[in-house]
Amino acid sequence: MIYENIYKNKLHHVRDIDTLKEMLTTCKELFGKKPAFLYKEEKGGPYREVNFITLKDDVDALGTKLLDMGMEGENIAVIGENCYAWMVAYFAVVNGVGKVVPLDKELSKEEIVNLLTTAGCKAVFYTSAYKNVFRDVEIPHKFQMEVYTKKVQADQENTLDYLLEEGRKMLGKGDRRYVDLVIDPLEVRMLLFTSGTTDVPKAVMLCHKNIVSNVQDISRIVKLKEDDRALSILPIHHTFESSVGIMVVLFQGGSIAFYEGLKYVVKNLAEAQATLLVGVPLIFESMYNKIWKQAEKSDMTKALKMAIKLNKTLKKVGIDARKKIFKSVYANFGGRLRLLVTGAAAISPNVVRGFQDLGIEMVMGYGLTEAAPLVSGTPDFTDRYAKAGSVGQVVPSGQLQLINENEDGIGEIIFKGPNVMLGYYNMPEKTAEVLKDGWFHTGDLGFVDENGFLYLTGRKKNVIVTKTGKNIYPEEIEEYLSKIPYIEECMVYGTDNDDTGETTVSVQIRPAYETIQDEFGYAEDADKVYQLLKGKIADVNQTLPNYKRVRHIVVRGTEFVKTTTHKIKRQENTIE
């Protein structure tokens, strides 16, 4: 059965564009002097605004100079912290120069060099924090960017600021080579690496149509307010942040402030007066838990529960008093936060409903780099509270199917739409494995309810298959275990017994040491911590079928190895 978005008659109207170049042009015309980005001249200083006119002019200036340097058609990398300069470099390259290659700033030097070589990059833009990394890297052109603009050095030829200044002069003299360049929306313009391994990495090839169609689809199901402002906290090289957290906000006339680091998020939310935060489940689950921990420490748990009950009652009669009722909660997040957007992994339905109870809306989505990235999302004209466990309806211009379904209706998710990648760079065999007759085979498992809402159950490659042929989804067991307050994080996996041929359900746990210390005072006693967790897991086991029960527990003394979007790397954490 092919699933399509059932809300075609409720979708928000969006303007028609074919390329990101056209997006910036129309943004300049429509939003002009409204702020597009907020940056800082120095760390800890006040935010400064960059309007849509300046953004477009800066992109044109840099693009003009790069063309003048003979960069047309070249692959150009961008790496560094989230900042305005990063976005200007990205837009300048994709909107008429060549192919942009965004790189993960957490990679080792060896991995960075490997990706630059694989992509055949002729130039790289990097923030000054990476000066030493690139000092002896052999690449024809290296341009330094600054996160904080007080450090700008427009007189040095190897800096972005020098290129901008030169480009402005050329534009002033009537050079319109870049400005008038027509973009083919179906031509490869982005190479996005899905991993940074030192082996042969996969680069997803995307075109303007992929990104733009997804930006439009997201805008059809989520309408932002005129004064909405996002705080950019996820790695900027990732499509979830660049497409959802930045492109969608710009397209609808909102603005984006760049954070100064994770420990400054609350401070930056207040300074920027941000209303929107795009993040991953780990971030939002941590935020939600802190609200209740703070309430508990202040002896306000009962009052907060009563406030939630009052809010629900008033909501039923059409009274919205959330800002007054939850003023102290909002104050913890800058005072204006109203919307959270989560993706990259499944999130607990309790957290989704919990935020909504506090008057903060949450959009759930499901996507992959290969889909630029969104496959499905929860529209703002549906009951997100009732569908809290779902990742929403398929995007309006896409189609979704489940194949190889089991008796529970769980199957592999395959997707077709204008946002599906063109393929993997120089890897036709790998491309053929996942792209079949226009359908992208995601490798993710899920089911669809009677209303067409998608629910994720796990990754095909993570499924634990027992000796009797039963399928166990690690993510399902992890969801149950995550409700234990003494578990910070966990990872469920299968352990094979060579003698019996049986597969044991095992779990690695990172304990919530702070909670354990507060309640019991023995966080440093490894044996007592183990016994506490063992007892709580035994309670969960009683609610599970015999074959799903956790038999082996490993308490980790260190953090899990994770991706830059905070997903646990299963293969790199497994302990037999």
pLDDT at 206: 98
Structure tokens at 234: 């996820």
Q: How confident is the model at residue 196 (pLDDT cuts 50, 70, 90)?
A: very low
Q: How confident is the model at residue 30 (pLDDT cuts 50, 70, 90)?
A: very high
Q: How confident is the model at residue 460 (pLDDT cuts 50, 70, 90)?
A: confident
For the entire predicted model, the pTM comes to: 0.87
209 pLDDT higher than 90? yes
**Which residues are bridge partners to 102 per DSSP?**
78
What's the length of the chain?
Answer: 576
* CB within 8 Å of 177: residues ≥ 6 apart: 64, 67, 68
255 pLDDT higher than 70? yes
Among 32-41, 244-253, 467-476, which stretch is predicted with the lowest mean pLDDT? Answer: 467-476
Q: How confident is the model at residue 149 (pLDDT cuts 50, 70, 90)?
A: confident
Mean pLDDT of all residues in the chain? 92
Every domain range in the chain assigned CATH 3.40.50.980: 48-183
Decide: 259 and 82 in contact? Cβ < 8 Å. yes
Cα 363 to Cα 357: distance, rounded to the nearest angstrom = 14
What is 155-182 written as a DSSP string?
TSTTBHHHHHHHHHHHHHTT--TTTTPP
- Residue 395 carries which DSSP code? P
Phi and psi, residue 257, nearest 5°: -105, 145
Q: Which of 549, 452, 457 is nearest to 494 (CA)?
A: 549
pLDDT at 172: 98
The packing angle between helices 208-221 and 20-31, to 10°, is: 50
Report CA dihedral (181, 187, 193, 199) to the nearest 10 degrees: -120
Structure tokens at 331: 């104050």
198 pLDDT higher than 50? no
Fold assignment, 48-183: Rossmann fold (3.40.50)
pLDDT at 200: 67
Side chain identity, residue 477: I
* CB within 8 Å of 475: residues ≥ 6 apart: 346, 456, 457, 458, 459, 462, 492
pLDDT at 197: 41
Among 48-52, 84-88, 545-549, which stretch is predicted with the lowest mean pLDDT? Answer: 545-549
Instruction: From residue 541, give the alpha-carbon distance in Å to each of 308, 315, 508, 551.
Output: 32, 38, 16, 9
- Residue 406 carries which DSSP code? -
Q: How confident is the model at residue 348 (pLDDT cuts 50, 70, 90)?
A: confident
What is 60-85 written as a DSSP string?
HHHHHHHHHTT-TT-EEEEESSS-HH
Among 25-39, 100-114, 221-235, 461-475, which stretch is predicted with the lowest mean pLDDT? Answer: 461-475
Every domain range in the chain assigned CATH 3.40.50.12780: 255-460
575 pLDDT higher than 70? no
Q: How confident is the model at residue 567 (pLDDT cuts 50, 70, 90)?
A: confident
528 pLDDT higher than 90? yes
Sheet containing strand 393-394, strands side by side: 47-51, 35-40, 255-258, 229-232, 276-279, 339-342, 361-367, 374-377, 393-394
Decide: 513 and 505 in contact? Cβ < 8 Å. no
- Residue 562 carries which DSSP code? B
Report, as an integer, the average pLDDT of 459-470: 78
Decide: 457 and 413 in contact? Cβ < 8 Å. no
pLDDT at 320: 84
Instruction: List pLDDT tens digits, range 405-429.
Output: 999 899 999 999 999 999 999 999 9
Every domain range in the chain assigned CATH 3.30.300.30: 463-573
Pick the CATH number of 255-460 from 2.60.40.2470, 3.30.70.20, 3.40.50.2000, 3.40.50.12780: 3.40.50.12780
Percent of the chain with pLDDT strictly greater than 90 = 76
Enter the CATH code of domain 463-573.
3.30.300.30
